[in-house]
Structure 1
Amino acid sequence: ALRGLPLAPEAIEFAVAREGLERVYRTERWLPRFDAATLARHAQRLGDAERQLLGRNARTLAAAVRQRFRDHVQKSALPASQLDAEGKVFKKSYNAGRRELEHEFGKTMRYKAIRELASGETGQVVRDMKPIWLMSPLSVSDTLPLAADLFDVVIFDEASQIPVEEAVPALYRAPQIIVVGDEMQLPPTSFFSSGRDAEDQTVSVEDEDNEGDRIAVVLDADSLLNQGARNLPATLLAWHYRSRYESLIGFSNAAFYAGNLYTIPDRSLPSEERAEILVQSTAASAGSVAAQADALLSRAISFHRVTDAVYDSRRNTGEARHIAQLVRELLRRGTGRSLGIVAFSEAQQGEIEAELDSLAAADAEFAARLEAEYVREEDDQFCGLFIKNLENVQGDERDIILLSICYGPNAEGRMLMNFGPINQRGGEKRLNVIFSRARHHMAVVSTIRHEAITNDHNEGAAALKNFLRYAECLSRGDDATATHVLEGMNPLTRGAVRAGHVPADAVSVQLAAALRARGHAVDEQVGQSRFRCDLAIRAAGTGSDAGDSHYALGILVDTAAHYENRNVLERYVSRPRILDAFGWGVRQVLAKDWLHAPEAVLDGIEHALVEKGALSAPRPAA
């Protein structure tokens, strides 16, 4: 055929492939009629069925618990003549428990301890009434009887902070356990405990004034999570939902998770170069603070360099003053965003609190707003302003996080490489905790730039140095250097952060070229993690310098990598749903449709743009 046909080898290859496809069509009669519209209908049915299944599962479980309670009450009310010996014992015990509880509910003082009510004859009645208990492992030991059948399942959350010896008694109380946690979060700590053998189990960190911070590095610590990860079947929960911008979690993903997290692509476009945010805390004016707040709210990560601050006795008054002024400005604007402040030491935490109190004492209006923010709740959940240090912020999250780096030159201009607990074993885990608390914005307030840190042989100090450089580059709009920082931290996983590393897909390349020929601005492989939009169309009239620059539509193509994921629900329901929840418009394109009807595919994309208000009318083909 190669010798006899007047065709190039590529044309012959195409003809052979096309004939193979036609044979499949003749065998699978449904396939020629299957297109993107059919796929969308099936995906909608699948998504609806999933929601119904979850709802029915919940109702079934609740009904089973209620029915068990009713059966026990009914059994305890039967005449003794209708019960066997075991039933009579149950009737006597259950009725005694009910009477005791009813008597206890009628009291106004001298209540029995929970341990007494959870044990003995009242215990079974209490568990029938309240089948779900939320407790710490130590509370389980203090409160519940030591029986192996108290619960169906025991679930441990934040298991990285649970010592094994505290977990074992809770493990014994159910036949099934679920251990949830993150090995890159903090291990079991004893920051505020006393009476420990400090010589063997904790480390004292001395600063330049010979004043030590007792930090919570337990050298022989072992957590339930570590044991569970080594001995139990494990599943990675890879989807990250907290951060509304990828850059807020991008550093942790590259530095601590080897790029294995799935993060949601940013709908906003990469920005042009922006001015550095320089702060003079002693000469701050209302106008300068307002401009700095504008910069904070316009960037996912903003780097505020305080030029006149001094580090003294584990405190940095300049940074604390700037953070307090930012809080006042943000509360004055009434953005509705929740606030959290994180310091690297207890001393700096106290300094920030003192600066806020000082501003409140001089400004009654701010004092009222601050007090309201401290106790703010939404949907019966506390979401008020917190001020914490790196030891106790795990588990918290806020829309805006203000981070005080604190460290810097002393009054003599001397910069010491003493970063307290960050220098110790596990210091990088402490950094991971505080770097991943923000949902919308993080303001990094620092006296130093990354080059001031020279002891980068230490893992914790190296992570801090890289983060400062990453934050400063993103704040200035230098995305290329920020990506280079992420690649440099983990060379084995550079493909997770380099967009160009993803092999080009023929359909995606052709589709992008056709859309550009119709006048659309198209970006390929949008995203920083393994989950990306194959193509993203920029909103009409929004260049990278526009104030509201964003993508109008994300396009998912069924590439070879698409089919590597065997989870159909995730491919066609979960991923589009996640993008939609983050503000994206989503269009799925099948390679089969592009092969047979490319113009119809392009017209469908433009109709989707019209529906999104990003295009006034479909444009004619070029």
Structure 2
Amino acid sequence: MMLKKVVNNNSRKSLKFIFSNYPLAIHTLFPVLMTTPDSAAILLETKPNLFNQVIFDEASQLFVEKTIPIIYRGQRIVVAGDSKQLRPTNFFGIKNTGEEETEDFNDNLEAESLLDFVNGKIPSRMLRYHYRSVHKELINFSNTGFYTDQLFTNSNTKLSTIPIEEIYLPEGKFINRQNRPEAEAVVNKIEEILETRKHNETIGVITFNVEQSVLIQSLLDKRAQNNKKLADELNRIVDRKNYSIFVKNLENVQGDERDIILFSFGFAKNENGVFRNYFGPLSDRGGENRLNVAITRAKRKIYLVKSIKSYDISKDSKNKGPKFLHYYLKYVEALNNPNIEPELRDDFLDNVLGELRNEETGNNVVESEVVEVKTTNPEFQAEVLVALDQLIQENGYGKRFQIKQQIKVDNYLIDIGIYDKKEQKFVLGIEIDGEHYNKTLAQKEYDFYRQKYLEVRNWEIYRIPLLKWEVNREKVLRDIALKMEGVK
């Protein structure tokens, strides 16, 4: 009641006052609080076991010392983060002499994170599902280079365009840490996207240094004065969520995502035609993590605007960043090579990823863990296959559709797939739940997340339990036939 009076009387009491004087009411009304470690240390009672559980997200960017006050207040902690992304940066922890940066300057900026601190001290597990990228081409490089091919990344989406499109500008020059031709190309492409997009896609821009992001932002603001669509997109708020075009550099884009990402690489030959193989913090120790953050922000499409080729970047750096950058540009160039037939493109991409993998593992191939645990009744599956084959033949579906077995989707196996030869994609995945399929609680949970993952990858899954087949196989076959008939 007292808390209600404080709020209703518009007394302008501080949050500190409210949290300090009404802790029980706060915890009753808000059993789950979302806050930062700094705010928690100021606002919350200094009392052990104040929370049953404390969850730290993006723990790779949290200073250990900042988290101690909130750890003290929790009975149990969960630390979530990615060691292959950015660590916290301590810009005030070293002396800046004012001289030009060297390759060692930024090596001392990164501090130990909470994620680093707890590594090996508490139980851990890897979250292997990747949900952001609609197309596997957007995440495959990171999957190989950073996650030893452990992520689940497959897609059942037919490619209408190349997911990573290269815009090569040999005339680009890197002068005063800016590349104006690239900046103008980025703004031109954004205006084109706004005129041609079909699904109101969101847009983000990532640069490899601050100066290039400032230039691009200024060009966007100037163009927006005469382009209402661009002006609206620069201030796009929907249901109090910000979907505006952002322009950020490698250091501050972690946690963001957009449907379409445009990269301005920036680095190029200078006005004297000299190319310097140094890429700012990306060249320093741990710089490859900055690249990983940048290239995993897109959900549907990446445009890479650049003024150099992969062979311009030396792989002789003592740190991994330039090597990874070399292979990423090579990967994008292979994806965009007009001389490679589309059906052979995956082989060329695999060759590039194989080179990267060998660089990282010394030719020691890391085998992915087999996670598929479902056991199918072979007699039941054979019976279903015969019935499906008969269904296709009797209804004249054979010219359009084909039955395939044991379709591999990452480390999953889908029992049967109905493949559309015209659209070159599966229209239905069929799971055979036989009599030996024991649904423990763990298996039910596994099935739930497995199906969610496949659905995000544009798979439609139809389950056929043995009992359902025995009781009403005609309805099962009718359902499958309706699905094929519904395909245009």
Query: Normalised by the size of structure 1, how large is the TM-score?
Result: 0.64
Q: Residues 402 and 524 from structure 1, CA distance in 2 versus in 1: closer, same or farther, beyond 3 angstroms?
A: farther
* Contact 2:61–2:86 (8 Å) recurs in 1: yes
Equivalent residue, structure 1, for 2:355: 488
1:261-272 alignment runs, 5 A limit: 261-263=151-153, 265-269=154-158
Which residue, 578, 582, 586 being the options, matches 2:461?
Answer: 586
SS at match of 1:312: coil
Equivalent residue, structure 2, for 1:87: none
Is 1:384 the equivalent of 2:205?
Answer: no
1:61-460 alignment runs, 5 A limit: 98-99=1-2, 102-103=5-6, 105-107=8-10, 111-119=12-20, 121-190=21-90, 193=91, 195-198=92-95, 205-206=101-102, 217-219=107-109, 221-263=111-153, 265-269=154-158, 298-335=161-198, 336-361=200-225, 364=226, 366=227, 368-457=228-317, 458-460=319-321
Cα shift readout 1:19-59 (whole Å, capped 9, x = no counterpart): xxxxxxxxxxxxxxxxxxxxxxxxxxxxxxxxxxxxxxxxx
Whole-angstrom CA distance in 1 between matches of 2:224 and 2:99? 37
Whole-angstrom CA distance in 1 between matches of 2:409 and 2:78? 31
Cα shift readout 1:432-472 (whole Å, capped 9, x = no counterpart): 10111011111111111211111344311111111111122
SS at match of 1:303: strand
**Alignment length, in residue pairs?**
451
Shift of residue 131, structure 1, vs aligned partner: 2.5
Q: Which structure has the larger Rg over C-alpha atoms?
A: 1
Shift of residue 171, structure 1, vs aligned partner: 0.3
Whole-angstrom CA distance in 2 between matches of 1:434 and 1:237? 20
Shift of residue 311, structure 1, vs aligned partner: 1.6
Shift of residue 485, structure 1, vs aligned partner: 1.6
Shift of residue 574, structure 1, vs aligned partner: 3.0
Q: Residues 100 and 398 from structure 1, CA distance in 2 versus in 1: closer, same or farther, beyond 3 angstroms?
A: closer
Letter in 2 for 1:492: N
SS at match of 2:253: coil
SS at match of 1:352: helix
Q: Residues 607 and 330 from structure 1, CA distance in 2 versus in 1: closer, same or farther, beyond 3 angstroms?
A: same
- Over the aligned positions, Cα root-mean-square deviation in angstroms equals 3.7
Whole-angstrom CA distance in 2 between matches of 1:615 and 1:370? 37
Q: Residues 324 and 346 from structure 1, CA distance in 2 versus in 1: closer, same or farther, beyond 3 angstroms?
A: same
Q: Residues 422 and 523 from structure 1, CA distance in 2 versus in 1: closer, same or farther, beyond 3 angstroms?
A: farther
Q: Residues 606 and 409 from structure 1, CA distance in 2 versus in 1: closer, same or farther, beyond 3 angstroms?
A: farther
SS at match of 2:184: helix
* Contact 2:157–2:458 (8 Å) recurs in 1: no
SS at match of 2:32: coil
Is 1:539 the equivalent of 2:435?
Answer: no
Letter in 2 for 1:435: I
Whole-angstrom CA distance in 2 between matches of 1:386 and 1:246? 24
SS at match of 2:24: helix
Equivalent residue, structure 2, for 1:8: none
- Structure 1 residues not aligned, in runs of 5+: 1-97, 272-296, 498-505, 543-548, 617-622
Query: Normalised by the size of structure 2, how large is the TM-score?
Result: 0.81
Is 1:530 the equivalent of 2:411?
Answer: yes
Shift of residue 114, structure 1, vs aligned partner: 1.7
Whole-angstrom CA distance in 1 between matches of 2:172 and 2:306? 9
Equivalent residue, structure 2, for 1:69: none
Shift of residue 172, structure 1, vs aligned partner: 0.5
Shift of residue 607, structure 1, vs aligned partner: 6.2
Q: Residues 150 and 199 from structure 1, CA distance in 2 versus in 1: closer, same or farther, beyond 3 angstroms?
A: same
Q: Residues 536 and 464 from structure 1, CA distance in 2 versus in 1: closer, same or farther, beyond 3 angstroms?
A: farther
Shift of residue 522, structure 1, vs aligned partner: 6.3
SS at match of 1:492: coil
Whole-angstrom CA distance in 1 between matches of 2:182 and 2:409? 31
Q: Residues 494 and 154 from structure 1, CA distance in 2 versus in 1: closer, same or farther, beyond 3 angstroms?
A: closer
Shift of residue 133, structure 1, vs aligned partner: 2.0
Sequence identity percentage: 28
Letter in 1 for 2:355: G
Whole-angstrom CA distance in 2 between matches of 1:558 and 1:205? 62
Q: Residues 525 and 475 from structure 1, CA distance in 2 versus in 1: closer, same or farther, beyond 3 angstroms?
A: farther
Q: Residues 203 and 397 from structure 1, CA distance in 2 versus in 1: closer, same or farther, beyond 3 angstroms?
A: farther
Q: Residues 344 and 455 from structure 1, CA distance in 2 versus in 1: closer, same or farther, beyond 3 angstroms?
A: same
Letter in 1 for 2:450: R
SS at match of 1:152: coil
Q: Residues 474 and 116 from structure 1, CA distance in 2 versus in 1: closer, same or farther, beyond 3 angstroms?
A: same
Letter in 2 for 1:309: G
Whole-angstrom CA distance in 2 between matches of 1:115 and 1:475? 56
SS at match of 2:127: coil
SS at match of 1:347: helix
Cα shift readout 1:367-404 (whole Å, capped 9, x = no counterpart): x2222212223343222211100000000001111111
* Contact 2:288–2:320 (8 Å) recurs in 1: yes
* Contact 1:101–1:122 (8 Å) recurs in 2: no
Equivalent residue, structure 2, for 1:68: none
Whole-angstrom CA distance in 1 between matches of 2:309 and 2:38? 43
Which residue, 550, 564, 575 being the options, matches 2:425?
Answer: 550
Equivalent residue, structure 1, for 2:373: none
